[in-house]
Chain A
Amino acid sequence: MPPQIDPENLAAWVARCRDGDSAAFELLFEAFRGPLYSYLARTTGDRHLAEDLLQDVFLRLIENIGRYEESGRFEAWIFRIAANRVRDWARRRTSSEWVGSMTGRSEDSDEPGVLDRSVDQPPDEGLVRREEVARLETAMSHLEREEREVLALRHYSELSFREIAEISGCPLGTVLARSHRALLKLRHELEAAEKESEKKKSPRKK
């Protein structure tokens, strides 16, 4: 799911992309569109917004790739661009929330719903598996924005917690504490949802 790219290939694509090679850009686009879009959509909970942000990320990639230093991993570089886009969005959203809270609106009133079905789900997947995925997505959407973000970043970028701390400009301890809290919340909500669905099913079974 996250980019499974041979590091040597990746380095070559990046070098060619810097020279304006559109075929190399296409390879980068194909490799990263899914993970980047997934991260953006899961974090914002808004697919249309995620599309806009994705375009912005690739524009910035093109604009700045000449300045990318090969000392760092490209994955970290590109996800840092995406994380910065999310931060800008969150800042704008927070200021409008502040206006909202002044008028008595609850801070979580624009909590995102569950995103619609993903495209890579095999059609022959069993009902149980689909239910499981749906429960997972619901549980994700109930996390705080920052908790969703760190988990989505971890999952889709495959960066280590240290790298995530670096690209998001947070101390490692903050990233770990936030992830820890988010994972336990996720776990508990999934457990509760499983019990709930079993309760619903059992009367029908007998």
Chain B
Amino acid sequence: MGCENSENLLLLAAGELESPQAAALRAHLAACPACAAELEELRSGLAALSRLSELRPAPAVERKIYAATAGRLHRYRLIRPNFVRRYRSALAVAAALAVVFGWSIMADLLRPGPDAAALRQMWTATTANVIDSGVMSDELADLNAGDAWSQAGHQVFSGINKADLTGELLDLRDGVGQIEDELGG
């Protein structure tokens, strides 16, 4: 080990040393028993490692993990050009809900969940963007202010269950960037 070849010896043992360096090191090995022994140790260690078996969660746990993840797939699909058109009404709903209920209530509705913090951030960004930009002005105009606004919010909200709302909001998060692009361009 006085040769300080350890790094290259490991790369050689792993078959990852570039050929000119490998050739030089092999030449050295022929004359240096210490490095040759070290290489053997490393090879033997790698061989032992290769016998390490694969682990799997229990089947029931694995199914649970699959269900919890696959169920989210459609929420994150790539944003398509017609995204804004498709989600115009959802954005209007989101904006209305933000005004009617305020974020603190929405946060309670959506808690607990891994996305609570992300949703909070997204929610703030979305509603601010949507309201400031006026991109939803047609829909928002329909909802109007005051009692009419509040009623519309309640009506909309009672028709959406929590899971669907979470889905809408996740879709909205994807949509924020797209909307910004469209507004900018």
Contact = CB atoms under 8 A, between A and B. Distances in A.
B146 to A, nearest CB: 38
A1 interface: yes
A176 interface: yes
A120 B54 contact: yes
Interface in B2-38: 6-7, 9-11, 14, 16
Interface in A118-141: 118-121, 132-133, 136-137, 139-140
B183 interface: no
Contacts of B72: 59, 62-63
Given A19-B78, A161-B10, A54 B52 contact: no
A172 B11 CA distance: 11
Q: Is chain B's interface secondary structure helix, strand, loop, or mixed overall?
A: helix
Q: Is the interface of A mostly helix, strand, loop or mixed?
A: helix
A187 interface: yes
Interface residues of A, number: 60
A161 B16 contact: yes
Nearest to B16: A160
Interface of A: 1, 17-20, 22, 25-26, 29, 33-35, 37-38, 41-42, 47, 50-51, 54-56, 58-59, 61-63, 65-66, 115, 118-121, 132-133, 136-137, 139-140, 151-152, 154-156, 160-162, 172-173, 176-177, 179-180, 182-184, 186-187, 190
Which 9 pairs show the lowest CB-CB distances between chains A and B?
A: A183-B45, A20-B77, A58-B69, A118-B53, A187-B45, A176-B7, A38-B55, A119-B56, A55-B65
